[in-house]
Structure 1
Amino acid sequence: MFRSLLVTNLRSLKSPLVKSVTKTNQISSIRNFSSSIINYHGHIHKPKPGEELHITFITKEGEQLTYDVAEGDSVLDIAQAHNLDMEGACGGSCACSTCHVIVDPDFYDAIPEPEDDENDMLDLAFGLTETSRLGCQVKMSKEIDGVRVALPAMTRNVSSSDFS
């Protein structure tokens, strides 16, 4: 039963995964299966030549990783597209704090102020600082080209089951 459900679910996807599943009642092979395809994950856009913006992530281990990104992409989407350790449990809907980042103070004031929903979620974030933001709410723009964001040592995933 699981296999037939898997085949049905994979056939309903409109992605390259469908090409790797045979059209029988059983799966003869699934090649290069991934639960999220890096090229499609997070809906990031490839920057146009000459219009690249830059972002540097500082990992928990202190490694600095710089990427060329497009205007309008969120910090969460960029991190997930590059397989960085940022959960984004709510899918970027500002309903958790697992995409918490610490923004370089030199760039913090250039980012639009957080709305009430974001501030409410930030109150739940582990290791909150004066320059903390949710990655799902920070969109890349020319004003923050070159921004540096640090990933906190850990995140707190609070769900409704925690309050049962």
Structure 2
Amino acid sequence: MPKVIYVTPTGDRMEVDARSGTTVMENAVRQDVPGIEAECGGACACATCHVYVDEAWADKLPQPEPMEEDMLDFAFDQRPNSRLSCQIIVRDGLDGLTVTVPEKQA
């Protein structure tokens, strides 16, 4: 089972076992990762599951779809490595994926 590592704004690390086929957001919500609000429930209709993907993992993820890019415009402190965690699907090749939660959500 792949692991996803969430780094909170305070620098705490939470390592979560994540089932392949689920999203990074779903796993964060299940494990009460601080800062992942996910107000739309994963419908790509808000930016409250915004994360920064660790640079080592950025090239291993598919590029964001246009809808995700549009929603990222509403994210607080958007960066080049910003993604919506509801759009990142966990798979075996992502074992150890590390994402950082922004200081605040939109």
TM-score normalised by the chain length of structure 1: 0.62
Identity %: 37
1:64 alignment counterpart: 13
In the alignment, what sits opposite 1:138? Answer: 88
Name the structure 1 match of 2:101: 151
Taking the aligned partners of 1:100 and 1:132, their CA distance within structure 2 comes to 7
Structure exhibiting the larger radius of gyration computed from Cα positions: 1
For 1:62 and 1:150, locate their aligned partners in 2 and report how far apart those are by CA, in whole Å.
9
Offset at residue 67 of structure 1 (A): 1.3
By percentage of residues, which structure has more helix? Answer: 1
More strand by share: 2
Alignment RMSD: 0.8
Residue 6 of structure 2 aligns to which amino acid in structure 1?
F
Alignment of 1:1-164 (within 5 A): 52-85=1-34, 86-156=36-106
Structure showing greater relative contact order (alpha-carbon pairs closer than 8 Å, 6 or more residues apart): 2
Q: Which runs of 5+ in 2 are unaligned?
A: none
In the alignment, structure 1 segments of 5+ residues that lack a partner are: 1-51, 157-164
Once residues 113 and 53 of structure 1 are traced to their aligned partners in structure 2, the CA distance between those partners, rounded to angstroms, is 20
Structure 1 runs (4+) greater than 3 angstroms displaced: none
Task: Report deviation, 1:131.
Answer: 0.7
How far is the alpha carbon of 1:143 from its aligned partner?
Answer: 2.4
Instruction: Give, in whole Å, the separation in 2 of the partners of 1:81 and 1:72.
Output: 15
